[in-house]
Amino acid sequence: MNAVFFVIEPSPTVVTPPGPWQPLVSGNAFSTDDQPDVIWQARLPDDALAAQSAIRSAMSQLDAQEHALATVEQRLRQVVDGAVSFGTTLPLAEQHLLAWVSMGEQPPGGASFGLRDEVQERWQAAQEQFIALSTQVCESLRSYATVETIHGSRLIARTRVNWFGDVQSWLVTDITPVQATLHHQTLTLALRSRAALLRIIGLVGRGAALIATMVASPISALMALPASWQFVQEILAEVQQSMVSST
């Protein structure tokens, strides 16, 4: 059995949190209950070494994505400072951003050659995604996070954390130190991923402010948000790509 990490949300997620998580939808009940918990579930193989290895690998994935996120502002600054220009060696994120800026500076109805449509399409998709992300995170801010560790086929521990930091855990009576460590690591992974998702919002905001300075037309950072969001997404995709190609 391979390890799988699920993030189970009441509504379909638009953005998967950084880390190894795969989205699942639990559905919303028509009741007056509180918002259902977002469940972060690690399903780990029975073999303890394989389970530890899976957690380590998941942590590495998150590390890589967090590191990539830490480079976003610097890369944006390089674009803003004119340190990069169009070229075949330019990463996709920078290429798309420069295309977006270039299109933005042309008056509406200018020469198109199809590029404007493509960029505009991407921009609108990014805008919708970003709005959906804001809603998703907004909803998660209302709910608890429940972190579950399934070792083999057995639920060995469940921890519920609210946004204020209070924690309740239910452990199987005969939990072993190794299993306790596995659950602790799952909890760390989930909470770090949750925080990273939230940070992305701020990062996109700061990125938008930078991008707004690139465009000659008078635009606000608000208008540049989708471009910034797209840039961040493409950098995360780069990490994903490099991890796939290195395995």
Partner 1 sequence: MAEDWLYFNGVNASRGEYAHEPIPVRELARLILGERPSPDRIDPDPEQRAALRERYLADVTGAFRVKEGVDPTNLAQAGWGIIFPATFDPAPIREALSELLNWRRVQAGPRYRECSGERGYRPGESKAAFLRRQGAATSGPVDPERFPYYLLLVGSPEDIPFRFQYQLDVQYAVGRIHFATLDEYAAYARSVVTAERNGITLPRRIVFAGVQHPDDVATSRSLQGLVQPLATELVGHPQRGEWEISTLSGSDVTKERLSQLLHNEPPTLLFTAGHGVEFEANDPHQLYHQGAILCADWPGPQAWRQRPIPPAFYLAADDIASNTSLHGAFVFQFACFGAGCPREDDFPHLRGTRSVIAAKPFVAALPRRLLSLPRGGALAYIGHVERAWTFSFSDTRGGRQIETFSSTLRRLLFAGAPIGYALEFFNERYAELATVLTEDIENARWGQAIDPIELSTRWTEHNDARSYIILGDPATRLCRQQATEATDSQLQLTMQPSSSTKIAPIATPSPIATESVATPPSSAAQPVTPVPAGSLPPETPVIPVALPEVGASFGLFGNKPAETMQKLSTALQEFGERLATTLQQVIADAAHLEVETYTTDAPETINYRQGDFRGASLRAVTRMSLDGDTQVLVPTNAEGIDERLWAIHVSMVQQAQTNRAEMVRAIATAAAGLLGVLQGK
Work out whether 119 is an interface residue with partner 1 (CB under 8 A): yes
Task: Tell which positions 11-30 bind partner 1, by CB under 8 A.
Answer: none
Dig out the tokens for 29 from the structure: 């009940």
Nearer to partner 1, 79 or 156 (CB): 156
205 lies in the binding site for partner 1 (CB under 8 A): yes
The DSSP code for 195 is H
Among 23, 90, 152, 206, binds partner 1 (CB under 8 A): 206
Q: How far apart are CA 205 and CA 211, in angstroms?
A: 10
Instruction: Determine which residue in the list 8, 44, 203, 232 makes contact with partner 1, applying CB under 8 A.
Output: 203
Token pair, residue 144, equals 């608890």
- C-beta of 45: minimal distance to partner 1 in Å? 18
Stretch that binds partner 1, among 4-12, 13-21, 87-95, 175-183 (CB under 8 A): 175-183
Look at residues 34, 35, 47 and name the one whose alpha carbon lies nearest to residue 3.
47
Q: Which range binds partner 1 by CB under 8 A, 17-25, 90-98, 182-190, 230-238? A: 182-190
If one counts every other C-beta atom within 10 angstroms of the C-beta of residue 22, the result is 11
State which of residues 7, 8, 18, 37 lies at the interface with partner 1 (CB under 8 A): 37
Q: Tell me the backbone φ, ψ of residue 25, rounded to 5 degrees.
A: -110, 130
Q: How far apart are CA 96 and CA 99, in angstroms?
A: 5
Contact 147, 162 (CB under 8 A): no
- As a whole number of angstroms, the longest Cα–Cα distance in the chain is 71
Q: Which residues contact 212 (CB under 8 A, 6 or more apart)?
A: 219, 220, 221, 223, 224
Is residue 230 within the footprint of partner 1 (CB under 8 A)? Answer: no
Does residue number 84 form part of the binding site for partner 1 (CB under 8 A)?
no
Q: Which of 167, 178, 237, 241 binds partner 1 (CB under 8 A)?
A: 167
Considering the rule CB under 8 A, would residue 87 count as an interface residue with partner 1?
A: no
Nearer to partner 1 (CB atom), residue 30 or residue 164? 164
Question: Token pair 């780990």 is at which residue?
Answer: 44
* For partner 1, the closer CB: 50 or 172: 172
Residue from the set 6, 11, 201, 238 that interacts with partner 1 by CB under 8 A: 201
Print the binding letters for residues 92-111 with partner 1: x by CB under 8 A, - otherwise.
--------x--xxxxxx-x-
Query: Rounded to whole angstroms, how far apart are CA atoms 64 and 77?
Result: 21
